[in-house]
Amino acid sequence: MNKVLVVLILLCMFASLADAQLKVLGQGDAMRLDAEKFPAEMKRNYEMLLSKCTGCHSLKITIQAVRTGQGPLSREPFNKQSARECVTRMMRKTGADISNQDAKAVINLLNYLFDENAL
């Protein structure tokens, strides 16, 4: 088979694999999610994540956890249930300013992101 064609097919396969994961913008500490296509409620929840979950560490930690299914620091599984426990743990950290309602918004967003990431 034509080599160029093989390369093109391989590229398409990788492109569709990459599509299965959440779209991220930027790198390192500046890493953000592309919230353009999020439903309105999830856009609001994402704003909550940005304001409550980037004070102590970068958003990259949370994005990585959702994308890989593993906490980047603990190496523990990161799924819908452990994500909820993680948010509760974050609420209790010194200096965290996260109300029950804020936590609920973040947990709803994480659940949505897990579903999107699996598409």
Residues at the interface with ligand HEC (CB under 6 A): 52-53, 55-57, 61-62, 65, 71-74, 76, 86-87, 89-90, 93, 95-96, 98, 106
Closer residue to ligand HEC in complex, CB, 69/72? 72
Q: State how far the Cα of 68 lies from the Cα of 64, in Å rounded to an integer.
A: 6
Closer residue to ligand HEC in complex, CB, 42/62? 62
> In which region does residue 104 sit, left (phi positive, over 0), alpha (psi from -120 to 50) or beta (all else)?
alpha
- What minimum distance in Å lies between the beta carbon of 78 and ligand HEC? 6
Place of tokens 């396969």: 13
